[in-house]
Structure 1
């Protein structure tokens, strides 16, 4: 005969086993961001959180969807970009955790080194203020151009005060810069788009951003959700040893973890 304590224990186990996992929708750009979330998914599932990953091919829609409540979180952007979006569009979105860093690179199919790039060369950069500015800052750091003082993290081509090689800048959506490689001398390409295009972000760039800086990516949620329990669970799953090992093995130095 089953004792009262045994029956109580069985009832608890049945209730726990039948509990439905909480489900959240999280947006990411194709490539490493989405791939890393696939590694996060089973870790989160073990903690009772079911992640549905939605891929968007640009940098605008994920914040629009998040602010509108169509998704619960996104993982694709850095803080300068998020701050710019909030200032321009009034989004009520907050960062809740740092994720990974993708050092930006300048790639070329025509030239093997930056020294070979001729005067008057065409350089594709991103047309959004944060990523385009990041590319210009990279070129300044490498001594290619000089920007006016006080431009912060969002300079534009009108802020260039010295351009000794008389480079011509072509502004494109960030996702389009890899496709421009056959038409320009070089292109600034975010690592996630470089990987998606089959480029090698470790050995491929003819100029490369330093690993440290303000451009570490993050998980963002709506301000009203930032203290909800599922946010803590999501962050713990992302920052797990399993995900850290996945990033190291999968990307071999082209993507760096922040934890």
Structure 2
């Protein structure tokens, strides 16, 4: 866990509910903003989410008057559960598609997507081959097993002409919905966190950007293809800040949302991950 020592101020923050103003109005200390007490506890995936929040913590938070308590969590289920049981005030690790799937199948909880921050591009990686067309007949391809990312992985393979997916399956498509597979690819869903370790045992693997970076796959393996960027790419797959609906107006949550779109943060993302992670502007578009 990373913990800060920044102080918010001596006065107790108001706990009454109030109308939600813009992030800048709330960050300036609007008397109408609802605020919690103490540090803002945020659950994050270690990379790049944890690194991005650490950058904010070390470079922006103190000046803005925000105290952060950052908890790095390796799996994809604990951060939402942490919001529900009160262990966290916010989390930053998921996109809307994953959140919607989790809410639909998880406990009854009003989790709200606060703002987009970045996109982790899914890539088709291989330690052996240099292009998608180079994959041989019968090639073993590992893909994420969670529904939202499995669909994204199949979309990469389909865009590269390797398979055809039943269009009636929509975004719930799995490997069982492949209706044409000219190279007889053996598509194996695995837990997303396990994919980097599997790449040595398969011909190719579709790996989430955060896990690819963390495991050094982006440096050691070839990128055969990136996922296609459609018109709704940001809306579907940008990772963002999430909180319980009742905490969205918390001044600390709104201030963090504003800091996540600070120009210095956008530059940090672009310079650090060189296109594997794409920063998203406050207006919801991929930063140039």
TM-score by length of 2: 0.79
Aligned mates of 1:158, 1:120 — CA distance in 2: 16
Q: Does 1:30 align with 2:46?
A: yes
Aligned mates of 1:118, 1:27 — CA distance in 2: 41
Aligned mate of 1:140, from 158, 162, 165: 158
Q: Does 1:195 align with 2:213?
A: yes
SS of 2:170 mapped into structure 1 = coil
1:37-48 matched pairs, under 5 angstroms: 37-41=53-57, 42-48=59-65
**Residues 17 and 229 of structure 1, relative CA distance in 2, 3 Å threshold:** closer
What is residue 184 of structure 2 aligned with on the other side? 166
SS of 1:195 mapped into structure 2 = helix
SS of 2:40 mapped into structure 1 = strand
| Residue deviations 1:52-74 (CA, integer Å, cap 9, x gap) | 11111111111111221111111
What is residue 247 of structure 1 aligned with on the other side? 269
What is residue 227 of structure 1 aligned with on the other side? 249
* Structure 2 residues not aligned, in runs of 5+: 1-7, 13-36, 282-288
Shift of 1:108: 0.8
> CA RMSD, aligned part only?
2.0
Shift of 1:19: 5.1
Aligned mates of 1:100, 1:122 — CA distance in 2: 30
| Residue deviations 1:20-63 (CA, integer Å, cap 9, x gap) | 88411111112211111111224233222111111111111111
Aligned mates of 1:47, 1:29 — CA distance in 2: 24
What is residue 55 of structure 1 aligned with on the other side? 72
SS of 1:75 mapped into structure 2 = strand
Aligned mates of 1:168, 1:92 — CA distance in 2: 39
**Residues 54 and 134 of structure 1, relative CA distance in 2, 3 Å threshold:** same
| Aligned residues of 1:201 and 1:254 also touching (Cα < 8 A) | no
Shift of 1:235: 0.5
Q: Does 1:124 align with 2:142?
A: yes
Shift of 1:202: 11
Aligned mates of 1:63, 1:107 — CA distance in 2: 29
Aligned mates of 2:250, 2:219 — CA distance in 1: 36
Which moved further from structure 2: 35-44 or 213-222? 35-44
* Structure 1 residues not aligned, in runs of 5+: 1-15
| Residue deviations 1:119-150 (CA, integer Å, cap 9, x gap) | 11111111111111110112112221111123
Task: State the aligned residue count.
Answer: 244
Shift of 1:234: 0.9
Which moved further from structure 2: 187-196 or 43-52? 43-52
Q: 4+ residue runs of structure 1 moved beyond 6 angstroms?
A: none
**Residues 201 and 99 of structure 1, relative CA distance in 2, 3 Å threshold:** farther
Question: Larger Cα Rg: Structure 1 or Structure 2?
Answer: 1
Q: Does 1:109 align with 2:131?
A: no
| Residue deviations 1:186-224 (CA, integer Å, cap 9, x gap) | 111001100001122798311111345121111100111
Aligned mates of 1:239, 1:250 — CA distance in 2: 16
